Amino acid sequence: MNNNTEKYYNSKQGRLPLFISDRLDICDPVLAFDKIMEEIGIEKYLKPEPLHKMGRPGYNRVNMLKTILFGFMDTGYASLRELEDRCRVNLRYMYLMDQETPSYRAFSYFINEEIKESAQDIFKAVISYIQAAEGIDLQHLYIDGSKFEANANKYTWVWKKATEKSRYRLFDKITTLLTEMNETLAYTGLKIETNTEYTPDSLEAILSRYDFVCHIDENTFVYGRGHRKSREQRYYERLKEYIEKLSEYVEKIQICGPERNSYAKTDHDATFMRMKKDYMGNDQLLPAYNIQIGVADEYIAVADVMQYRSDMDCFVPLMEKFHELYGFYPRYPVADAGYGSFNNYLFCHEHGMEKFMKFPMYKKETTDEKYHDDPFRAVNFETDSEGDLICPNGRKFHFAYRKAVKGNQYGRQEEYYTCEDCSGCPYAERCKKTEKNRTVRINAELSSMHQEVLENLQSIHGALLRMNRSIQAEGTFGIIKYDRWYKRIVRRGQESVRLELFLVSIGHNLYKFHNKQKRQREVA
């Protein structure tokens, strides 16, 4: 075989240029990203370096921060092992790291130790930079939520109600045991007080007292075949077992807290929720977090991680987070029917926000004429000069009582009215379902709020806002999930998930900003 050195020769020798930036295109996204970071002054969001540092010199912390943020901008979610690999082979990441190659462990430590506390500040700095460059309108905020599956095992659930039932069954067993112990202690004159409920501390005191009275020594306990346990040993061991079990139940209830009904054993902050896509195919609840975002001009202006299963409970915390970031509340918060409730409407009224959130029956109210014009709905009843409700048969409804709505934070009450006489009514079959006089419940304040929402949403401004909400808020989740393939939470714990969400949101905003700037240059 002839050795043709001119055709097959490759010297693998060094070549010019020496600077990596010279190999990148002038419009490369990493150069635009680096310029933004320099103008923001990203280094001020890092912790101050210790005066006396042991060990070998670490990597450049500013470069590490830039590399991590660019990873989230580049791919949606930056896997730490992929970051390590890109720093070895990708010119963009080599440019940011000055050809240093940190390991994935170094990136993990840096995120947890350096970025965790300042992630929200970095998010605010990026959105402030984009607002100054493009004039983002933060008064119009489009809100939406989506449930993301947590990084927790599927069958590790703990149900609060089931735990409470088991705890009360254990109380009965404890009472039975203490009664038996009292019978054996009758000759001593000592009596253990029994109750309907117990605490681990009180049972520990009973156990120590029983130990002292009966002179129990655990070293003399017998176990196994051929050994017969004494009565005192059996009582002592059973009570100790009950104390451990009760402590376990108390811990589980405390982890759930007053506002949750479940949690996962492998991620205590994750709540079991019903997901839209049941890939398991058995209609099973999955551990998840409720991710809430507020979008302004296609950028994520606010984001937070919630443990609530319903979006209604997420609106007020999200608005408080917005106020924490910007110092004011948006004038036009726009959301779907999952957010329309008395509490949220009242919160909007108290803080100067217009009501543009649909209520649950909005679609039926606006599209179903038969339902809207139904004369037997209480809201369609006429009123006489005295303010009494008059049904289609001309009968009066008299005030019966007022009842507080369960779980309402603002003390909302509903008024119940009962018809004076429904006997012989020709409309009875259409008007009521029982033989008794019909009772209706009315909240005039909520009805007036619904009417205000209808007027707002059916105006020209409201129609434009509804259209934009479906494009911007739902479109943002579409980009995050299906264009950039971030569909599941990676970290565990609510604070770690919030850090992850801020990093993903920063990457999304930088990604959108660069694309817009690129399109404007192409048009020009």
pLDDT tens across 306-354, in order?
A: 999 999 999 999 999 999 999 999 999 999 999 999 899 999 999 999 9
State the residue for tokens 């930079």: 129
Residues 382-398, mean pLDDT to the nearest whole number: 84
- Provide the pLDDT for residue 23: 82
Q: Which of 29-38, 57-66, 162-171, 187-196 has the lowest average pLDDT?
A: 187-196
Distance of alpha carbon 357 from alpha carbon 344, whole angstroms:
9
- Provide the pLDDT for residue 6: 59
Burial of 240 (0-12, 13-18, 19+ CB in 10 A): middle
Residue at 384: amino acid letter: D
Residues 438-465, mean pLDDT to the nearest whole number: 90
Burial of 62 (0-12, 13-18, 19+ CB in 10 A): middle
Q: State the average pLDDT for the chain.
A: 90
- Provide the pLDDT for residue 9: 56
Distance of alpha carbon 439 from alpha carbon 75, whole angstroms:
58
- Provide the pLDDT for residue 285: 87
- Provide the pLDDT for residue 17: 67
* pLDDT (tens digit per residue) in 41-86: 999 999 888 777 777 788 999 999 999 999 999 999 999 999 999 9
- Provide the pLDDT for residue 142: 97
Domain ranges of the chain: 23-115, 158-264, 291-363+457-522, 377-452
Q: Which of 142, 72, 60 is nearest to 514 (CA)?
A: 72
Buried/exposed 324-339: b ≥16 CB within 10 Å, e otherwise: ebbeebbbbbbbbebb
- Provide the pLDDT for residue 208: 92
Give the CA distances from residue 505 to residues 72, 131, 191, 429, 471, in Å, rounded to whole numbers and listed in that order: 9, 15, 63, 55, 18
Contact call for residues 431 and 413 (beta carbons, < 8 A): no
- Provide the pLDDT for residue 190: 82
- Provide the pLDDT for residue 282: 64
* Tokens standing for residue 220: 């003399």
Q: Which of 325, 442, 468, 469 is nearest to 381 (CA)?
A: 442
Q: How confident is the model at residue 268 (pLDDT cuts 50, 70, 90)?
A: very high
Distance of alpha carbon 40 from alpha carbon 130, whole angstroms:
10
Distance of alpha carbon 292 from alpha carbon 502, whole angstroms:
12
Confidence (pTM): 0.89
Residues 255-263, mean pLDDT to the nearest whole number: 93
- Provide the pLDDT for residue 331: 96
Residue 488, beta-bridge partner list? 149
Distance of alpha carbon 249 from alpha carbon 198, whole angstroms:
12
Give the CA distances from residue 509 to residues 271, 445, 476, 505, in Å, rounded to whole numbers and listed in that order: 28, 40, 10, 6
Q: How confident is the model at residue 129 (pLDDT cuts 50, 70, 90)?
A: very high
Residues 473-479, mean pLDDT to the nearest whole number: 94
Q: Does the pLDDT at position 4 exceed 60?
A: no
Q: Does the pLDDT at position 389 exceed 90?
A: no
- Provide the pLDDT for residue 469: 94
Distance of alpha carbon 503 from alpha carbon 102, whole angstroms:
19
Q: Which of 120-124, 155-159, 178-182, 406-410 has the lowest average pLDDT?
A: 406-410
Query: In this predicted model, which residue has the larger pLDDT, 154 or 337?
Result: 337
Burial of 48 (0-12, 13-18, 19+ CB in 10 A): exposed
- Provide the pLDDT for residue 267: 95
Q: How confident is the model at residue 303 (pLDDT cuts 50, 70, 90)?
A: very high
First to last CA, the chain: 57
Residue at 130: amino acid letter: I
Burial of 508 (0-12, 13-18, 19+ CB in 10 A): buried
Q: Does the pLDDT at position 524 exceed 70?
A: no
Q: How confident is the model at residue 118 (pLDDT cuts 50, 70, 90)?
A: very high
* Tokens standing for residue 140: 């119009």
* pLDDT (tens digit per residue) in 290-300: 999 999 999 99
Q: Does the pLDDT at position 412 exceed 80?
A: no
Q: How confident is the model at residue 275 (pLDDT cuts 50, 70, 90)?
A: confident
- Provide the pLDDT for residue 131: 94
